Structure 1
Amino acid sequence: MTVIQKKSDNPIAHLSPEDIEELGRKLDAIRQEVIESRGAADAAYIRRVIKTQRGLEAGSRAVLLFSAFPPAWLLGTAGLSVAKILDNMEIGHNILHGQWDWMRDPKIHSTTWEWDMASPSEQWKHSHNELHHTYTNVIGKDNDLGYGIMRVDEDQTWYPFHLGQPVWCFINAMFFEYGIAAYDLDLGAAIKKKQTKDPEFRRRAKEVLQKVRKQVTKDYVVHPLLSAPTGSFLPTLAANFTANIVRNLWSNSVILCGHFPEGVETFEKRSIEGETKGEWYVRQMLGSANISGSKALHIATGNLSHQVEHHLFPDLPSNRYAEIAPKVRALFDEYGLTYCTRPMPQQVYSAWHKVVRLSLPNGWLDATNRKNLPRQLKALYKMATGTPRERRVIQMAMQREAKKAQQVAKAA
């Protein structure tokens, strides 16, 4: 993964400006077709999903009142986990994108909806809808690329602290809702720039703390106390904690699959200067990846298993992505572009392989084998403890060795 503009085999080099704009017009036509056909069936779908989610959550919490009984704990925890996933993915994420605003239902609208997450909806909409979807995969502009804590591209300078990347990536996945809340608040930048006393930052921080307090009170105080008369206080508390972890790991995995697997492209900041609508479309097409699977999987991912279609048309109803996916894929084929899609286990593996690979210096993993492992570990230690100049010298040698290893592998 390196910025597309620096690749020797640039996957869009064969497209003329006219091709790109024509592709954009064809995608506009697909979008318009869906907009004109939205109606009662779509509205019934989202209302049905919300009703199902609320019923599942209420039923699961009722079962957890007796969670001191192990079967009740397992059933209630499983149901609550699924309910939280539905609330986060197919309902909250998509409503906050404005996908259902056309219904003009004040209860199902991006301006009124609040979800079961630590991040306040208004802050999430700014960082996600306005920034991420505008600057998708642009290094230095799209902070969703690694969330400011991971190295996600070979062109990003490697530093010794990146060795811990797989560890903090996993911790972030476990407590993803809080990581997203800190990210939406832009906490890291505020600390770095010493702006934590800024009135606007403090206002937003107060909103986050109020939302976190509300979530913690609901899951770790109110519902466990309701279970106390049956001796189920601690089991219910554990069930809520488990359901939140399951939801966090699931949503993190879906997002990793959609943005970080091998085959997803990144872009230079200068490449979007004067960007046309067609060029924006192409960036969304190449900067996203899909997950293949069943209808149940698609619903559980909030239809972000159709991440390509979602990034092309973030405001279209999520239940329509499966319908337009074949049309979008046909355009990929027509214009000689690669439609990146794999089953979820393969996408998860690919994304995590990249997390590990980029936690190491460029070329280290490719150049390492059983025979030279001790020498490679020694070189890695020197890079981790050496000066910037020593790191650059060792890095260059390592990349040359990796290139030779790749050439040998190709010849074989």
Structure 2
Amino acid sequence: MTLAPERPTSLNSRLRVDSDAPRPQRPELKKSGRPNPASHLTPEQIEEIGRELDALRAEVMDSRGARDAAYIRKVITTQRYLEMGSRAALLFSGVKVRGIRPMWWIGTAGLSVAKILENMEIGHNVMHGQWDWMRDPKIHSTAWEWDNASPASQWKHAHNEIHHTFTNVLGRDNDLGYGILRVDEDQRWSLFYLFQPIWHVGNALIFEYSIAAYDLELGSYVAKKNRMSPEQKAEFKKNADEVLAKIKRQATKDYVVHPAMAAATFTGSGRHTLTANIVANLVRNLWTNTVIICGHFPPGIETFEKTSIEGETRGEWYLRQMLGSGNIAGSKAMHVMTGNLSHQIEHHLFPDMPSNRYAEIAPRIRDLMERYDLKYVTGSLPKQAASVYWKVVALSLPPKREGTTRRATVWKAARKALRGKGGGGRRY
């Protein structure tokens, strides 16, 4: 197999260390009237931050070697043995011992952990190119296909190319609420968001399918279908067929093949293996969703206007990653289970750095941010998750405005929607 060359060692080569023209001082307030957390930094300080981070990146990337390769191979081997052992246990999940089915519980727990490891610490990070330098055709971003409804090629485009380039830029980063959630005060409110606490939970339960639809840009297709060219429609159909084929393969494996194998053992385990696979996928979806929202939506994480990235230098891009991400505090085991996305700030700064290195550089990133009076957002998993759920509820309501109440704004939008005047889509 011919592998693509390793990615260039300079992150975001489209961005320059310095600008051709002097960069303006950042205003004290954003257009929305909210404080600008970087207004105290001069353009020279921002570019000095960029140079310091470039040096840190070079230091780590130049030191990659045997211990890093051993780490990812160990994680992959552990995940595969855990999945095989769990599926073997589920062959006997129908057997009762003192009124319980111990193999169901053991197999379901093990399979849940195996699916989380495959998606988070392995699949997500391999597809970022973190291990391409090893030149191993089995652990390479161009070859990996993960245990998820979204095809790797579509996920890499939506996540690596768009989200990591335009992190938290309103109108450019579709990951900011995934198009269905209002998670920042600078996002305009519409009647659509009133029910977001309900579908936020539903989205978490079916997260892999929501991501597949999101990577496919299904919502954009529905909205623009009548204005699309035949070529664009054909491209969408091709991608949609790829998604459906991937979902069919995943569903056949989890909901047909393995239950059938368990049924063939004559232990009455077919139905129980089916339920175990359903539960494992639900657990994986809920965990993945929780980790991701904790890294992107807690209070203290900033958003940015489109105009703020015009002519953006690499130092300014680095600054946006630090201000637009948040971490989760916890044990080493928890970091592995999150795919080290508990170090979301470090990951957004260096998305193709081996994930086992994020914990090493985290103290240096925190020190840098504190030296420049930038908030390093972090907290425990329960704290971060609770703050996001509270934000989802609070921002489902329209912002307070002088001369009117939130209730009046909601009723006005609802009446216009019922009369067919487009009030449901109006933004406030």
TM-score of the aligned structures, taking structure 1 as reference length = 0.89
- Pairing of 1:218-367 with structure 2 (within 5 A): 218-228=253-263, 229-363=266-400
Q: Is the 8 A contact 1:53 1:87 kept in 2?
A: yes
Matches of 1:360 and 1:5, distance apart in 2: 21
Q: 1:385 aligns with which of 414, 421, 425?
A: 414
Q: Does 1:186 align with 2:217?
A: yes
User: Number of residues paired by the alignment?
Assistant: 380
1:17 to 21, 27, 43: 43
1:353 CA drift (Å): 1.1
Partner secondary structure for residue 257 of structure 1: helix
- 1:378 Cα deviation after fit: 5.4
Partner of 1:120: 151
Deviations 1:235-283 (A, max 9, x none): 1000000000000000000000000000000000011110000000000
SS at match of 2:40: coil
Matching residue of 1:101: 132
Helix, strand or coil: the match of 1:230?
coil
Counterpart CA distance in 2 for 1:99 and 1:377 is: 47
Q: 1:361 to 1:211 in 2, by over 3 A?
A: same
- CA distance in 2: counterparts of 1:5 and 1:310, whole angstroms: 28
Deviation track 1:78-116 (CA, whole Å, cap 9, x = no partner) reads 000000000000000000000000000000000000100
CA distance in 2, matches of 1:113, 1:378: 50
Q: CA distance change for structure 1 residues 86 and 199 in 2, over 3 Å: closer, same or farther?
A: same
Query: Which residue identity lines up with residue 270 of structure 2 in the other structure?
Result: F
Kept in 1, the 8 Å contact 2:186–2:303? The answer is no
Residues 4 and 266 in structure 1, CA contact (< 8 A), matched pair in contact too: no
Between the aligned partners of 2:207 and 2:290, the Cα distance in structure 1 is: 10
Are the counterparts in 2 of residues 196 and 202 from structure 1 also a CA contact under 8 Å? no
Residue 8 of structure 1: CA displacement? 4.6
Which residue, out of 208, 222, 227, partners 2:243?
A: 208
Structure 1's unaligned 5+ residue stretches are 365-374, 397-412
Q: Which amino acid aligns with 2:268?
A: G
> Shift of the alpha carbon at 1:9?
2.9
Tell me, in whole angstroms, the C-alpha distance in 1 between the residues paired with 2:300 and 2:60. Answer: 28
Between the aligned partners of 1:239 and 1:363, the Cα distance in structure 2 is 46
* Inter-partner Cα distance in structure 2 for 1:241 and 1:332: 43
Structure with more of its chain in helix, by fraction: 1
Match of 1:158 among 189, 203, 206: 189
Paired with 1:358 and 1:30, the residues of 2 have a C-alpha distance of 38
1:338-396 alpha-carbon deviations (Å, 9 max, x no partner): 000000000001111111111111149xxxxxxxxxx978546524534499x9xxx99
| 1:152 positional shift | 2.4
CA distance in structure 1 between the partners assigned to 2:412 and 2:331 by the alignment: 45
CA RMSD of aligned residues (A): 2.0
Q: Is the 8 A contact 1:135 1:142 kept in 2?
A: yes
Give SS of 1:218's match: helix
What letter is aligned with 1:231? Answer: G
Is the 8 Å Cα contact of residues 397 and 406 (structure 2) preserved in structure 1? no
Q: Identify unmatched segments of 5+ residues in structure 2.
A: 1-28, 96-100
Using the alignment, how far apart are the partners of 2:31 and 2:340 within structure 1?
Answer: 30
Structure 2 counterpart of 1:44, from 67, 70, 76:
70
CA distance in 2, matches of 1:311, 1:323: 15
Contact 1:4 1:265 in 2 (8 A): no
Give 2:166's aligned amino acid. Y
Identity rate of aligned residues, in percent? 64
Q: Aligned residue for 1:401?
A: none
Q: Give the AA of the match of 1:224.
A: P
Residues 400, 406 of structure 2: 8 Å contact kept: no
Q: TM-score, normalised by structure 2?
A: 0.85
Choose which of 60, 84, 91 in structure 1 pairs with 2:122: 91
User: Per the alignment, do residues 378 and 280 of structure 1 end up closer, same or farther by CA in structure 2, a change over 3 Å counting?
Assistant: closer
Give yes or no for contact 1:5–1:267 (8 Å, CA) kept in 2: no
Q: Does structure 1 conserve the Cα–Cα contact (< 8 Å) formed by 2:108 and 2:276? A: yes
Separation of aligned partners in 2, 1:4 and 1:189: 28
Secondary structure (helix, strand or coil) at the match of 1:137 reads coil
Distance 1:224 1:163, change over 3 A: same
Structure-2 change in CA distance of 1:311 and 1:4 (3 Å): farther
**In structure 1, the residue corresponding to 2:399 is in which secondary structure?**
coil
Whole-Å separation in 2 of the counterparts to 1:156 and 1:35:
37
